[in-house]
Structure 1
Amino acid sequence: MAKKARARLLGVVVLLCGLLTAAGAQPAAADGLPGSLWFDEPAAATLTVANGRFTDGLGREVVLRGYNVSGETKLEENGGLPFASVADARKSATALRALGGGNTVRFLLSWAHAEPARGQVDTAYLAAATAQMQAFLAAGIRVFPDWHQDLHSRHLFDEDSWYTGDGAPQWVVEAGDYPKESCGICVLWGQNITQNEAVKQASYDFWHNANGVQDAFLVTAGTTMRYIREHLSTAEFARVAGFDPYNEPYAGSYDSGQTSRTWERDVLWPFYVKFRARMDTAGWQAKPAFVEPNLFWNANLDFQRQEGGLLDAGTLGSRYVFNTHFYDQKAISGIFMWGKAEDGQYAGDFGTVRDRAAAAGTTAVVGEFGHPLAGTVADKAPTVLKAMYQALDSRLPGSSWWSKPAGSGRVLSGTQWQWDIYNDRHHELMNGNPDKVLTTGDAWNDEDLSAVGLDDAGQPVLHQDARLLDRLYPSATAGTAVAFTFEDRSRDGSTTLTWNPVPTSLPKTAQLVGQGQYGLLLWRSDGTDAPTELHLPASFTASATTVVSDLGATAAPPAYTEGAPVAVAAEPGGTAARRLLLTAPDSGTLHYALVTNGASAPSASLLSAARDELTAWAAAKAG
């Protein structure tokens, strides 16, 4: 039986069982197509890990792209929730799709608000968090919740402190006997992790289950997961990708003779095994845990870097995802990197992430990456973020991509820090101090990293170049992605950053692309007759999108009809976002598709000539 037939049959069974509730149904798309095409059904949306990649219910290779929602959870002004209301959550979700191009969010949760008193889970908090989560699920966006902490707990810090934290409830801090917090001479808030004795000792106590605090956390985590599962429809839960057990784990301090690697093996990994068991009993047994290694595992400053990466955890397989963060500490320091980021700047760093996940028998997600948008190093942000997205797309710099695309590697999933619509509009009493009301930036330890904010009319607006954020990417590949690149032509001030120009050896392709944006995907089919999908940025308007592929060459691709080789449709969720659909129901064939907004009404002869060039190039370089 064909895979499409199996998927349809499963969708019919789900429908007949009454599991496709109205809450999970997709609204009609703006272009008149049904918002729930057969390949958008819950059976297809369900995400698993197989053969070292994210895979949907139709066997397609999935890439997760989006943002962290949101650092507002670290604050008290909205009670540890990302949003003040469900209406704000809906506004944020719609904007994330339409402006930010995301299909996934890492959704922050607060232990302090989930369990404000020991053994007493606040179901009102869980209900509010779940309702806000549903706003993103309804917009067709996948979600993976994250138990977030930084510097262990806000309650470690004095009212007049220079810094603050988030995570553990007050009763956890009161159960310990911690010194007065002090970071000494600290330039960045993160130095508290290794220099503030109160933070170090409290972190150590959590990992060693002092006063039973880790046990209490695991109980609350299990209760929370069960609540979410029971209060989402089947269609909604299908879009929940997994769960991140603990943000940025660090030992606090190591025992005598212990190393970062042995700490991961003997302390961190057993915690993840316990969390995984809680997931199973809460009804999340088919979803992976997004486990993070030691915070300093992949630091790009040598004096910070520590051995780790869950090296001794064995084969993680389908039950776990390797979930790491990456920030360019050299660039953030303002000392160790004086200039801007360049083509291929992070190819090695992100290549290490790919290799570590592959060695562990699973896939990877870069759960946080970003750069300050205000302050002394903000001028580096356009190039740093472009280089990070480039490294997510491919392990090759643009200068060598066209000459050896087969070395491009898997397209990495990633969620940028962060998406906070309240940026620059906060009202946060820092550490409860009425004399320290924070309103600017992220209102948290002088950070300002949000890609979005609200204008004076209350509408979401981007704080970064839309060409950088709203990207073309292969969200679902029917087969195996061989290589991918996207030249976003984003700006650094008035300078257009072009790191991957079409080579002069392909003159007709270069003419077609011109000064426009372009992406190019090569993939090998596996007999799946579901379409390959690429997210189309808003800059790829209906009239300006040109596709040149072995499947066909067309300007302004038509609306999707079943089996059409090249077509467009709305993204699931009823927003204005669109996707390109490429259908190739053969097996073992190398396919390619160039997608550009550079040409205006290109001639048939130019399309044909560019197709001939690309066909010969693909056969020679990647065949």
Structure 2
Amino acid sequence: MMTQAMREPHVSGRWAWGAVLAVLTTSSLFAGVPAHAAEAPTYDARAVEVSVSGTHFFDGYGREVVLRGFNVSGETKLAENGGLPFASVEDARKSARAMRELGGANSVRFLLSWTAAEPVRGQVDEVYLSRVTAQIREFLAVGLRVYPDFHQDLFSRYVFDKDSWYSGDGAPRWVVQAGAYPRESCGICAHWGQNITQNQTVKSAMRDFWADRNGIQEAFLDTAQATMAYLAGHLDGAEFAGIAGFDPYNEPYAGQYASGEDGAAWEQGRLWPFYERFRARMDAAGWLDKPALVEPNMFWNSNLSFMKQTGGLAGVGTLGPRYVFNTHFYDQARMSGFFNLSKAKDGEYTADFNSVRNRSTALNAPAIVSEFGHPLTGTSSDKAPSVVKGQYQALDSGLGGRTWWQNPAAAGPVLSATQWQWDIYSGRHHEAMNDNPNKIRTTGDAWNDEDLSAVRLDDSGTPVLRQDARLLDRLYPSAVAGHTLAFLYEDRSRDAGTTTTWSQIPGSMPESARLTGSGLPYGVLVWRGGSASAPTELHLPAGFDPATTTVISDLGTVTGPGTTGAIAIVPEPGGTNARRILLFGASEGLHFALISAAPATAEQRSVVQKEVVRWAAGAGLG
């Protein structure tokens, strides 16, 4: 265990590492001078460390932060690399850099394996923890924030027999052996997820965990604490600043409700007390300043009515600054292949994601959608471009594109999110399903016939995207010096070769429509300035050529911003080719920025600026 002396730098003064980080100056980070070298990337810990206040994340400069990225990775569910996301540190480095450059990420949900961490009861495998730490370090090194997750699906792979149709991940073999469960069966199940509610053995194992039968929940908490203490003790101060919190348990479900119990009652009686115990373990491990990203009953927001249950942590009161409301959303109707055969449409998911915003407000805690996405092969894969576009649209704004310009004040906050998933080994696995050498899985994710990875390795070993880059590498407000009032991004992604446009600029803004109507992507951010000591930042997708990118703001207008001035384009921290836009000089009033991939003359920019000023003044933004 970590000693008190080892914990103190993280617990006492928030910037106790200031002396260590003195060379990582604000001026080097924000004046357009890259604060990194290819061999040893550095960044100011104040920019990357995350805290919680009310319904928002903040960095050390007091800016509102949006976390965007991917899950790394479903490979952790497999045995082929010992429960690690990567076969080597070199692969982790390659994947981290690609996630930054190809996916535009600033954050990652990093999957861990309880099976690998505690293969023998009471014995934490520090070799595994050392390898995990080395791989996490590669993501921190390129400026990505990391929040680990002890992942589980269907409780454990050891619930399933070697000849089973399905598999699981999570609990070690000794946990399942202690349960002495009967042979499992899902009956007539068309999808692995049906095991959650139909496989009696899976349900019993889940029930036993929440009841702490045989002390298995307490053992899990011991392992989680040891893992967090190891990370806190083996990452240096700047690296530990990049740890954004911990996700205690993936997709919790009761397994079996007690008589008269429903999802909400189970959350209050079983799930929330577990999170409180986990929170205490975080504190004991030296994670006092980092939030627990807690998930509700996994079925609380299902878009299939017969699966939807009560929950959403509605009965536990407000969460406060030590917790984050952490949920998932999949279009289960379309994923089924038969409940909904249409493609997603403009604004279709706004109600689903506004329910997340509403829970965030009620709980007085930030929200993060830590899983979303859609299969890239199979019967419903043709829906993927529209579904994922719709999910990102609803993450960006609580309004559809057709109504955003008419009522931006109702857009709501931009939601943080990590897409499922980022697995560079997609299609190249060699997994013995349930340890059966006669059932080697190589295709897709190599787990229960899933295939959702946004990335793969080409024949030269280079990471390449499997989805449209316009869809994944997005403009978003990564850090706002003040308070975001509204945000819109029209990615102009392709669906079956056709450019999809959902946002519609009003006829009263003809020059703005002309600038953004060329088929190239554009975005709009409206914010109220605050007292933050650093500029507003937006991630700039690789598809935006800095030489032709146009920024029209109340702070000025420019096509082809340089690396200095009120509007600048500079590298993201971490030594990759990823870029960001910096907006300096915002006072405490109302501000806007329209960012287009299309060039514009000075005269055009002047006219558009006037149009946007008039629009913002009459849009009820206050």
Tell me the TM-score normalised to structure 2 length.
0.94
Take 2:272 and 2:448, find their aligned partners in 1: how far apart are those partners?
Answer: 30
Check conservation: 1:566, 1:581, Cα contact below 8 A: yes
Check conservation: 1:26, 1:573, Cα contact below 8 A: no
- 1:150-161 pair list within 5 angstroms: 150-161=153-164
- 1:277-316 pair list within 5 angstroms: 277-316=280-319
* 1:355 corresponding residue in structure 2: 358
Tell me which amino acid in the other structure corresponds to 1:586. Answer: S
Equivalent of 1:482 in 470, 485, 506: 485
Check conservation: 2:48, 2:143, Cα contact below 8 A: no
Is 1:583 the equivalent of 2:581? no
* 2:570 corresponding residue in structure 1: 569
Task: Report the CA distance shift for 1:528/1:292 in structure 2 as closer, same or farther (over 3 A).
Answer: same
* 2:9 corresponding residue in structure 1: none
Give the deviation of 1:26 after TM superposition.
14
* 1:341 corresponding residue in structure 2: 344
% identical aligned pairs: 59
Q: Once superposed, which parts of structure 1, at least 4 consecutive aligned residues long, lie more than 3 Å away?
A: 10-15, 18-22, 24-29
Q: Secondary structure at the match of 2:618?
A: helix
Gaps of 5+ in 1: 1-9
Give deviations 1:129-181, integer Å, cap 9, x for gaps: 01100000001000000010000000011111100000000000000121111
Give deviations 1:224-246, integer Å, cap 9, x for gaps: 00000001011011111000000
Take 2:200 and 2:438, find their aligned partners in 1: how far apart are those partners?
Answer: 26
Give the deviation of 1:528 after TM superposition.
2.4
Check conservation: 2:17, 2:237, Cα contact below 8 A: no
Take 1:47 and 1:32, find their aligned partners in 2: how far apart are those partners?
Answer: 23
Tell me which amino acid in the other structure corresponds to 2:36. Answer: G
Check conservation: 2:47, 2:59, Cα contact below 8 A: yes
Give the deviation of 1:503 after TM superposition.
2.7
Q: Secondary structure at the match of 1:35?
A: coil
Take 1:384 and 1:346, find their aligned partners in 2: how far apart are those partners?
Answer: 9
Equivalent of 2:610 in 591, 608, 612: 612
Give deviations 1:2-45, integer Å, cap 9, x for gaps: xxxxxxxx9997343x36799x999999x863339xx9511342
Equivalent of 1:261 in 254, 264, 268: 264
Give deviations 1:458-499, integer Å, cap 9, x for gaps: 000000000000000000000000000000000101111100
Check conservation: 2:228, 2:282, Cα contact below 8 A: yes
Q: Secondary structure at the match of 1:365?
A: strand
Between 1:541-550 and 1:474-483, the stretch displaced more is 541-550
Equivalent of 1:439 in 408, 420, 442: 442
Q: Secondary structure at the match of 1:99?
A: helix
Equivalent of 2:58 in 55, 59, 82: 55
* 2:522 corresponding residue in structure 1: 518
* 1:595 corresponding residue in structure 2: 595
* 2:5 corresponding residue in structure 1: none
Is 1:547 the equivalent of 2:547? no
* 1:77 corresponding residue in structure 2: 80
Check conservation: 2:471, 2:491, Cα contact below 8 A: yes
Between 1:272-281 and 1:45-54, the stretch displaced more is 45-54
Task: Report the CA distance shift for 1:289/1:446 in structure 2 as closer, same or farther (over 3 A).
Answer: same
Equivalent of 1:507 in 505, 510, 533: 510
Q: Secondary structure at the match of 1:14?
A: coil
Tell me which amino acid in the other structure corresponds to 1:611. Answer: Q
Check conservation: 1:21, 1:233, Cα contact below 8 A: no
Give the deviation of 1:396 after TM superposition.
0.2
Take 1:321 and 1:568, find their aligned partners in 2: how far apart are those partners?
Answer: 32
Give deviations 1:252-275, integer Å, cap 9, x for gaps: 101112111110000000000000
Give the deviation of 1:527 after TM superposition.
2.6
* 2:217 corresponding residue in structure 1: 214
Check conservation: 1:73, 1:109, Cα contact below 8 A: yes
Take 2:324 and 2:22, find their aligned partners in 1: how far apart are those partners?
Answer: 28
Tell me which amino acid in the other structure corresponds to 1:618. Answer: A
Q: Secondary structure at the match of 2:149?
A: strand
Q: Secondary structure at the match of 2:329?
A: strand
Between 1:333-342 and 1:238-247, the stretch displaced more is 333-342
Aligned length: 603
Check conservation: 1:529, 1:583, Cα contact below 8 A: no
Tell me which amino acid in the other structure corresponds to 2:428. Answer: R
Q: Secondary structure at the match of 2:103?
A: coil
Check conservation: 1:292, 1:322, Cα contact below 8 A: yes
Take 1:215 and 1:28, find their aligned partners in 2: how far apart are those partners?
Answer: 44
Check conservation: 1:515, 1:598, Cα contact below 8 A: no
Tell me which amino acid in the other structure corresponds to 2:148. Answer: P
Tell me which amino acid in the other structure corresponds to 1:535. Answer: H
Equivalent of 1:270 in 266, 273, 280: 273
Check conservation: 2:247, 2:292, Cα contact below 8 A: yes
Q: Secondary structure at the match of 1:219?
A: helix
Task: Report the CA distance shift for 1:43/1:33 in structure 2 as closer, same or farther (over 3 A).
Answer: closer
Take 1:242 and 1:503, find their aligned partners in 2: how far apart are those partners?
Answer: 42
Take 1:284 and 1:458, find their aligned partners in 2: how far apart are those partners?
Answer: 37
Take 1:205 and 1:549, find their aligned partners in 2: how far apart are those partners?
Answer: 57
* 2:471 corresponding residue in structure 1: 468
Tell me which amino acid in the other structure corresponds to 1:215. Answer: E
Take 1:51 and 1:173, find their aligned partners in 2: how far apart are those partners?
Answer: 40
Check conservation: 1:452, 1:460, Cα contact below 8 A: yes
Check conservation: 2:26, 2:44, Cα contact below 8 A: no
Between 1:572-581 and 1:502-511, the stretch displaced more is 502-511
Equivalent of 2:396 in 386, 393, 398: 393
Check conservation: 1:527, 1:585, Cα contact below 8 A: no
Check conservation: 2:546, 2:561, Cα contact below 8 A: yes
Task: Report the CA distance shift for 1:128/1:27 in structure 2 as closer, same or farther (over 3 A).
Answer: farther
Gaps of 5+ in 2: 1-12
Check conservation: 1:11, 1:43, Cα contact below 8 A: no
Take 2:560 and 2:21, find their aligned partners in 1: how far apart are those partners?
Answer: 37
Is 1:528 the equivalent of 2:532? yes
Take 1:355 and 1:28, find their aligned partners in 2: how far apart are those partners?
Answer: 35
Check conservation: 2:292, 2:324, Cα contact below 8 A: yes
Give the deviation of 1:576 after TM superposition.
0.2
* 1:4 corresponding residue in structure 2: none
- 1:131-150 pair list within 5 angstroms: 131-150=134-153
Give deviations 1:38-76, integer Å, cap 9, x for gaps: x95113422111121001111100000000000000000
Check conservation: 1:243, 1:289, Cα contact below 8 A: yes
- 1:157-236 pair list within 5 angstroms: 157-236=160-239
Take 2:341 and 2:21, find their aligned partners in 1: how far apart are those partners?
Answer: 56
Is 1:417 the equivalent of 2:415? no
Give the deviation of 1:542 after TM superposition.
1.4
Q: Secondary structure at the match of 1:72?
A: helix
Between 1:408-417 and 1:306-315, the stretch displaced more is 306-315
Is 1:376 the equivalent of 2:379? yes
Give the deviation of 1:584 after TM superposition.
2.8
Tell me which amino acid in the other structure corresponds to 1:574. Answer: G
* 1:117 corresponding residue in structure 2: 120
Check conservation: 2:225, 2:285, Cα contact below 8 A: yes
Give deviations 1:326-355, integer Å, cap 9, x for gaps: 000111112221210000010000000000
Check conservation: 2:28, 2:34, Cα contact below 8 A: no
Tell me which amino acid in the other structure corresponds to 1:520. Answer: V
Tell me which amino acid in the other structure corresponds to 2:543. Answer: S
